[in-house]
Amino acid sequence: MISKSKVDKAGRILSDKDRNYDELSLELDYVFEEFRKSYLAPLTKLTLSLQEWLQTYGQQYYIAQRLKRKPQILRKLRRFSVRLTQLQDIGGCRIVVDNNEAVDGLVSFLRTKLTDSGDYTIERETDYRDWGRDDSGYRAYHIILTTSGIRLELQLRSQLQHYWSESIERTSVIYGSRLKENEGDKEVLKYFKKFSDALHFLEQEKKLSSEHEIELQRSRELAEAIIGQASPKALASYVNENIIKTMSEAEKNSQSSLNNWILVFDWNDGNFVTWDLVGRDPDEATEAYSNYESQYPEEDKYEVVMIGSSEISSVKHTHSHYFGIEHHSSALEDMEQSIIGLTSRMSMDVGARRILSTLKRQGRWGKKAIKIDTLKNHFCLNVATFHESLELLMERGLVVGSDPVSLNIKKNKEISELV
């Protein structure tokens, strides 16, 4: 057994960026890995128990476990000035279900199962769904539990909450800033907060107002421009199905009900470098994890992650940011069918939609026209692309007349959908 003070010393020394690596650091690296390794067996036991219980739950879910990456742990120690033994999420299990209502049901179901098992003590429950955590917009339901003196974190998310989380993960690496840790341009951070709020609004089965949609689009365009300047890479990528097929074939030859996999992802070109099936043995798995982390450092834009799963194909759902993420317009349309034509609306620039919204609000249809100068200087002062946007609306036949102008009554339905 390694003493608590020794573990905390390892966290303090290894998280010091200004300290040179020496013999003491080498010794404390071993302490760190032994401490992290102690989480794997109880975490695997928890995951297997959850899977057994969920067989009787009767609803669709995706589940995976993970040991927190070493660079993440050390950054968290620096960011919050806490001790290594105080961290509560070194070992974690994630369950993704359909919607918020399913999360509520799952919380109640698992609370009973965990308590009745006698193996776990629920230390704390935190619901981040209504307001989001801090300023990032992260939403989920967290349960911190203990077993045999080990703290484990259970994350319960809806599909949309998970989609947001995976989107910000992928964007963070492409952008080069850890957005979840409040790094990066404030406008990019604002966008993800607004995006999270919009998804939460829709999950409550409410319809976004045209003003809300326009503001979300404006914020997205600004964020994408900032990210585009920082990185030439696209924000979406293809889904790499081949690696899943290969891993699934290897899984068929395994006799274990749960396997640990190490995935090495290269964010420089958006592809997997390698993968390794390391089984359930804690010594073997954590030693391999540590070796891969040393071989593929985070500062070179490699990401090494160890995922535990009984069905590796589910990684496409639990860690979708490695496999490409579709634009959020698809998520919005899937979530709320009443938002008809959101994709076509997103194809029109913000300025054009603001002009349409202004004309519609004033009832400027047909003969009830307005002079262009009046529209521009009194009602659309903040539309920087006024003339280009107005020209687009005229080309599409949504606005008629040369000067004055008005909305085309024949395009009433299309205009209503756009604003």
CATH of the domain at 116: 3.30.460.10
Read off the amino acid at residue 151: R
CATH number at residue 386: 1.10.10.10
Taking 50 as the threshold, does the pLDDT of residue 346 lie above it? Answer: no
Query: How far, in Å, CA of 131 to CA of 407, rounded?
Result: 39
Kindly state whether residues 219 and 307 are assigned to the same domain: yes
pLDDT digits (tens, 9 = 90+) for 73-106: 999 999 998 999 999 999 999 999 988 999 999 9
How far, in whole angstroms, is CA 106 from its chain's centroid? 21
Q: CB burial class (10 A; 0-12, 13-18, 19+) of residue 249? A: exposed
User: Can you tell me the distance from the alpha carbon of 146 to that of 165, in angstroms, rounded to the nearest whole number?
Assistant: 25
Model confidence at 233, pLDDT cuts 50, 70, 90, reads low
Averaged pLDDT score across all residues of the chain: 85
Q: How many Å apart are CA 101 and CA 204, to the nearest integer? A: 10
pLDDT at 342 over 50: no
Whether the Cβ atoms of residue 47 and residue 18 lie closer than 8 Å to each other? no
Please state the domain count of the chain.
2
Specify which of 107-116, 173-182, 316-325 reaches the highest per-range mean pLDDT.
107-116
Average pLDDT over residues 349-372: 87
The answer to the question of residue 10 being in a domain is no
Judge if 139 and 276 occupy the same domain: yes
Question: Do 74 and 180 belong together in one domain?
Answer: yes
Share of the chain above pLDDT 70, in %: 90
Residue 384 structural domain: 348-418
* Statement to judge: residues 146 and 202 lie in one domain: yes
Lowest mean pLDDT: which of 210-214, 248-252, 393-397?
210-214
Domain annotation covers residue 316: yes
What is the model's pLDDT at position 349?
65
- At residue 200, the 3 state secondary structure works out as helix
Question: Mind listing the pLDDT tens digit for each residue in 22-54?
Answer: 999 999 999 999 999 999 999 999 999 999 999
- Residue 239 confidence (pLDDT): 52
Residue 9 lies in a domain: no
Whether 56 has a pLDDT exceeding 50, the answer reads yes
Task: State the helix-helix crossing angle for 23-37 and 4-14, rounded to 10 degrees.
Answer: 120
Average of pLDDT values for 330-349?
A: 43
